[in-house]
Structure 1
């Protein structure tokens, strides 16, 4: 559905009975997506983030639109597997089921550094933390009559290393030329590939990935002048409202109107172009096996 024809007020269906969890709901398109969903009658909106004050602002904004919409914040630092595990445990004891898990949170173009568990920080946050959350919440998802997992990727995946994912150095800062962008691209490729493998392996749970496009969030506004110039010269930078549209489409699209494992650009446009690493099934399979091994002790 072309962006010009997408109208969230009309094209997102009634969500009565749906329990929806969004990661990274304290700011940017995560918060804006929650606010947009407020008028669609979800049974319960839940979100994660690291900033309790910002979370309170998101809740106030949702209730300004729909005072009766239940919305709950769960503190979670996706870079820390201990934090993710604790949050998942709380969700497992709180919810009767989970219909939609929207893995939206992310970090971008950071200097070389490691997560609390010793992984490259962008890969830890954007991929590994989400993978653990998904794995631990699968029992809740399988209680839903129509479960889905949506991972937010990016066209930036094209900038990943030629091999796709540098598995042998994921437990280092991966300092390299243009490293902060290549590390980000690597993590976004992982989101895309993991959604594809999850669709293939987690039978009964619809899984796919989307990109919101380049959005004028704090990630762009607070970037360096050089990074900001590159963003504006090479992309159409969208408003935050426009940035929510592909996520809202992913939440509301009918099961028979979306292909499991596929990658969708704004709005609901299937994207099959890309790099050799994106098409290489062995990279996706290795990512799955590597992730399973790293998360085994947390399950």
Structure 2
């Protein structure tokens, strides 16, 4: 089904334009939405796609599968653990050693519904992985993105994969004191991190107008993340099988399988520039959304941006 309820008609094989000459980087590209996104983009002949993931064996397996489907695909593994600033810094260095161009950055990877813990750098694990890791990666790659934006006919984009789950963020918005997040339920901490994804994208575009930066909600997608939900939520343990069944039959407009779930980020990465830039948060497929009141708060977006850069700087990066 290519026409979602209330959404745009979108067919990756027909609607994605040529990507010849472009360099793409997708985080979490070894499985789920990331892998599907790389597969579909590869069919349109970009110069190179970097598949960023933690585990080399899983990444190389994914690359082999994609190349079987698209023999001419030029894919490169980039080792990246978003929960570690050291790993993110090294990944950015490795990328910049290989390429002086970056046209499309899709911050796709994420974790959800994890028990409370902290990253190696002291951030709550979901916020640290979903927001801080991607914010640092984007910050380190920003010189390359801006340099690419200066090229003739450039169309540089940064897509943060957020979620409608940002509505579960705490009623105070962003918790800048990480220890305070421990009192939230896993879903609240997840919503907190997904709210940060939206705020980060809209502030990035405000500060750097030569870059098109947006956040997307891919829909309710049946991926391995539901196994984690089922382990941490009794309700989801019973709901997950129902959601999977609904997805398989396409009954509800906001519940998709993986190929359908990748449509929104594929649309955001390749649809006409001015259309995509007309909003900061999109739902399936190509539907402009304001998000929650916190997602609309420009002051909070600026505050999060400044706080994030301060945290990065404090770790001597």
Match of 1:254 among 263, 267, 272: 272
Give SS of 1:125's match.
Answer: helix
Aligned to 2:181: 174
Task: Provide the aligned C-alpha RMSD in A.
Answer: 1.9
CA distance in 2, matches of 1:118, 1:260: 36
Scaled by the length of structure 1, what TM-score is found? Answer: 0.93
Displacement of 1:275 in angstroms is 2.6
Aligned to 2:309: 292
Structure 1 unaligned spans of 5+? none
Cα pair distance change 1:222/1:112, threshold 3 Å: closer
Structure 2 unaligned spans of 5+? 149-153, 247-251
Give SS of 1:124's match.
Answer: helix
Give SS of 1:113's match.
Answer: coil
CA distance in 2, matches of 1:139, 1:76: 19
Give SS of 1:6's match.
Answer: coil
Scaled by the length of structure 2, what TM-score is found? Answer: 0.88
| Residue 39 (structure 1) aligned with residue 43 (structure 2) | yes
Contact 1:149 1:207 in 2 (8 A): yes
Give SS of 2:28's match.
Answer: coil
CA distance in 1, matches of 2:40, 2:275: 22
| Residue 153 (structure 1) aligned with residue 162 (structure 2) | yes
Displacement of 1:279 in angstroms is 2.3
| Residue 116 (structure 1) aligned with residue 123 (structure 2) | no
Displacement of 1:101 in angstroms is 0.3
| Residue 217 (structure 1) aligned with residue 223 (structure 2) | yes
Q: How many residues align?
A: 295
Contact 2:110 2:130 in 1 (8 A): yes
CA distance in 1, matches of 2:158, 2:316: 20
Give SS of 2:81's match.
Answer: coil
Contact 1:197 1:261 in 2 (8 A): no
| Residue 242 (structure 1) aligned with residue 253 (structure 2) | no
